[in-house]
Structure 1
């Protein structure tokens, strides 16, 4: 085999690898451009939404801005509901235990 044939094969392989690498880089670049454009669109939508005036919410103000009496009443009402739930749970458990005790008799 002649020595120059090896060099021709090496040059052709190098050119093929460079072309394949260029095609891969171009395809990945185009995919990245699509991703960046979608990201830019999402960001612009959110920026436009931030420019619009916010609607007044129907939520009540924070508890530390209200009179202490109102906050205490809300807390006591909520705690009464918690105690009622605990009582109902305890009654259900007692009923299940009664049923189990009578099941084996």
Structure 2
């Protein structure tokens, strides 16, 4: 390689080194600002944690020093709230499933096709009153419809 080739290679290498250092410096500067902003946010939360919280039961004795009936009453109130949440969740769940049951999604997007997804077909059918439901297997239902089981 001629002598001027080495000069070109050296200049290109030094240029790449300088450009890389500038790139790293710019990103380091941005990272310092990002970390500083994060530190400021964390400081806000830590300062808020240091402030005393006004509480209405500061003059109330600890629960373990009170009569057992007080703890039992608090527990029964908490359990009532838990049951209310469970009932609400169950009602939402039942309502959503009833909507899905009314609007079955077809297996294909072809309107002429009557095949539905196997998961949308009921594996079990329920008959009877709401107070006493009896579950029949698919084979029993099919036998009643004149379908032979394989």
TM-score (norm 1): 0.58
Bigger share in strand: 2
TM-score (norm 2): 0.44
Q: Could you list the runs of 5+ residues in structure 2 that have no partner in the other structure?
A: 91-126, 135-150
Matches within 5 A, 1:1-105: 3-56=2-55, 63-75=63-75, 78=79, 82=83, 97-98=128-129
Runs of 4+ residues deviating >6 angstroms: none
Distance in 1, matches of 2:39 and 2:50, equals 16
Q: Could you list the runs of 5+ residues in structure 1 that have no partner in the other structure?
A: 90-95
Bigger share in helix: 1
Q: Secondary structure at the match of 1:31?
A: helix
Distance in 1, matches of 2:76 and 2:51, equals 39
Distance in 2, matches of 1:42 and 1:56, equals 26
Q: What root-mean-square deviation, in Å, do the aligned CA atoms of Structure 1 and Structure 2 show?
A: 3.7
Higher relative contact order (CA 8 A, sep 6+): 1
Distance change >3 Å, CA 74–CA 97, structure 1 → 2: farther
Q: Report the count of equivalent residues.
A: 89
1:28-64 Cα offsets, whole Å, 9 max, x none, are: 1111111121022113212332342222156x87753
